Amino acid sequence: MHKYELLVLNILKKHSSITFSELEKKSGLGKDELLWSIENLSNLSLLDLTYKKNNSITLSQEGMSYSKSMLPEDEIINTLQSGKEIKASQLLLDKERIGMQWCIKKGLIIIKNGILSLTKKGEEYSVPSAESIFLSTLHKKSNSTESFSSKELSYISEFSSRKLIEVKDKNIIDIIKISKKGAEAIIEESENSIDQIDRELIVSKSWESKKFKKYDVSIPVQQQILSMRHPLRLLLNDVKNTFSRLGFTEISGPIIEPSFWVFDSLFVPQDHPAREAQDTFHLSNPSKLPINDKEHLKSIMKSHTDSWKIKWSQEEAESAVLRTQMTSVSVHYIREFMKKYLSGEEVALPQKLFTVGRVFRNENLDYKHLTDFYQCDGIIIGKNLTMANLFDTLTNFYKSFGVKIRFKPAYFPFVEPGAEIFAQIGENGNWLEIGGSGIIRREVTGISRRKINVLAWGLGIERMLLINNDGIKSVVEPYNSGLSWLRTRKLR
């Protein structure tokens, strides 16, 4: 509480009811300071105020200029009384002409042959007149009409009709009382209460004999700048932790690959449109990458030639690309697994693996399209794995995010049967495609599905972010927003 406010409260404590002018006298505060204090205290409901109506007088610009010297008629009379001659035609200024008009009106002069001459009344007129003197007091004085004499009131009505002053009705503070809350506050605000707590207070225990001043909890304060994790990173961690909890082990693999691992080993025919530069980023440096697994290369070449009946080119398979799907990481592990399995090495089944990372599409970057975005791929390698197993795994995964899903038949070259995953947006909302899944073809694993089969899926992460976080409106936002966005993301 400010010291002026405290002073006012203390006076009021002694005088349960007091007028403004009494308070002004007793406090010794200026009028503005007193008004400020009363207003603050009243806003906090510490005071009860009663108001009264009063006329307030304000000088107009014209009135203000006369109040500093005298009324214009006084100036003319003053000149005439000093013996100077005035011709009406000489009076050109507004002020002089107004003065002349009022001299005539008040019967102080008459005009003969264009020359002003004093009447008897004019000769007796004393300058400055009582009106002029009164006007100059209006300039200084505070202005309650109550305190004026009847003569002065008649001047006021004249000035008002001459538009030298404006008389307005106004509510002014009349009686000031301390409220119950104010009486309580003053106890807390005694000299002895604590504002900023400090070490000295704590160590000396001197707070024990004092009161803590209260803070007004409703007062707005400046917001703290938060340092935040990125919402997409938080979701990626959620996804990883969820798969880990469901018994999956995280794997990773390269982004920059020969087409072989992104397409050929996933049974995508070499003339498939998805492989073209239209959709896939090919590289000019390096333009080619070697396929080190020669044995695998041969078997892939054979299955392509047999099934797709088109010439298979190793050169095309070596063309360097940025991976377009995380399944390229999975297929490396499937291959490594198969090498072990076929060599008779003991392998524990089922193996549950997942990988999260960026994939790339040659898009025109705009508010809707990204060139790189996240995908989460998962595989289960085992015996007699079924579509029912696939549906169970994915349903459980999405359930932990509160997302309801549905499966729709779909086509991907490397799975059969294939299923697209659709998530429902809100209760009874639209269905949004959020991923693909299926049982990997034996052309990819290189073994009969009666011996080993592999369930696989690829899930879009950015779309999950849109479903999961109301504050995020487009998939592009997480990648191209400034600090105001990054610092204020909702956690869900």
Partner 1 sequence: MPNITINREYLLKLIGKKIEEKNLEEIIYKLGFEVERSDLNELTVEITSNRPDLFSAVGLARAIRNFQHINKTFNYSLHKKNLSSALTISVDKTAEKSGLFISGFVIKNILLTDVSLADIFNFSEKLSDTLGRMRKKMSIGIHNLDVIDKDIVFILSEDEKFIPLRDNSQRLYSDVVDNTEKGKLYRTALPKSGLYPILKDSKGTLALVPIINSERTKVTPSTKNLFIEVTGTSSDLVEKITNILATTFIDIGGDIFGIDVKYTKKTKRYPDFDTNNILIPLLQIELELGIEIGFNNIISLANKAGYEAALLGKKIRFKVPSYRADIINEQDIIEDICIAYGYDYISPIPVPSILPGALSKNHELFEGLSYAMVGAGFTESMSTYLTNEQRNFLMMNLDIPQKTDFIKLKDAKSSNLSIARTWLIPSILNVISISKHDKMPQKVFELDMVFKIYDNKPIESYHLAGICTNSVSNFNDIKSIVESILSVSGFSFSIKETSHKSFIDGRCAAIIIDGIELGIMGELHPIVLSNFGIEEPSIGFEIELL
Contact map string, positions 456 to 485, toward partner 1, x by CB under 8 A:
----------------------xxxxxxx-
Of the candidates 36, 127, 254, 401, which one interacts with partner 1 according to CB under 8 A?
A: 254
Contacts of 69 (CB under 8 A, 6+ apart): 75
Of the candidates 153, 187, 310, 342, which one interacts with partner 1 according to CB under 8 A?
A: 310
Map residue 155 onto helix, strand or coil: helix
Paired with 381 in beta bridges are 351, 454
Can you list the positions of beta strands (E) in 383-448? 405-409, 415-424, 431-440
Q: Which of the residues 415 through 444 are near partner 1 (CB under 8 A)?
A: 416-419, 439, 441-443
Peptide bond into 409 cis (omega under 30): no
Query: What minimum distance in Å lies between the beta carbon of 10 and partner 1?
Result: 41
Contact map string, positions 376 to 395, toward partner 1, x by CB under 8 A:
----x-x-xxxxxx-xxx-x
Of the candidates 149, 225, 427, 491, which one interacts with partner 1 according to CB under 8 A?
A: 225
Query: What minimum distance in Å lies between the beta carbon of 258 and partner 1?
Result: 11
Q: How far apart are CA 264 and CA 378, in angstroms?
A: 19
Q: Which of the residues 264 through 283 are near partner 1 (CB under 8 A)?
A: 271, 273, 277, 281-283
Q: Which residue is associated with the tokens 């095309």?
A: 316
Q: What is the largest CA-CA distance in the chain?
A: 141
Is residue 92 within 8 A of residue 66, CB to CB? The reply is no
Paired with 354 in beta bridges are 250, 378
Beta carbon nearer to partner 1, 99 or 258: 258
Q: Helices (DSSP H) in 144-195: which residue ranges? A: 150-161, 180-188
Binding flag, residue 69, partner 1 (CB under 8 A): no
Binding flag, residue 145, partner 1 (CB under 8 A): no
Of the candidates 205, 348, 402, 428, which one interacts with partner 1 according to CB under 8 A?
A: 348
Q: How far apart are CA 148 and CA 135, in angstroms?
A: 12
Q: Are strands 453-460 and 431-440 parallel, antiparallel or unpaired?
A: antiparallel
User: Where does this chain touch partner 1 (CB under 8 A) — which range of 96-104, 130-138, 197-205, 346-354?
Assistant: 346-354
Q: How far apart are CA 288 and CA 265, in angstroms?
A: 17
Q: How far apart are CA 421 and CA 435, in angstroms?
A: 5
Of the candidates 155, 248, 263, 397, which one interacts with partner 1 according to CB under 8 A?
A: 248
Binding flag, residue 339, partner 1 (CB under 8 A): no
Map residue 235 onto helix, strand or coil: helix
Is residue 181 within 8 A of residue 48, CB to CB? The reply is no
Query: What minimum distance in Å lies between the beta carbon of 335 and partner 1?
Result: 19
Beta carbon nearer to partner 1, 51 or 411: 411
Is residue 279 within 8 A of residue 317, CB to CB? The reply is no
Binding flag, residue 292, partner 1 (CB under 8 A): no
The tokens for 118 are 């004093």
Query: What minimum distance in Å lies between the beta carbon of 17 and partner 1?
Result: 49
Binding flag, residue 302, partner 1 (CB under 8 A): no
Query: What minimum distance in Å lies between the beta carbon of 297 and partner 1?
Result: 19
Beta carbon nearer to partner 1, 15 or 449: 449
Of the candidates 365, 367, 368, 492, which one interacts with partner 1 according to CB under 8 A?
A: 365
Binding flag, residue 250, partner 1 (CB under 8 A): yes
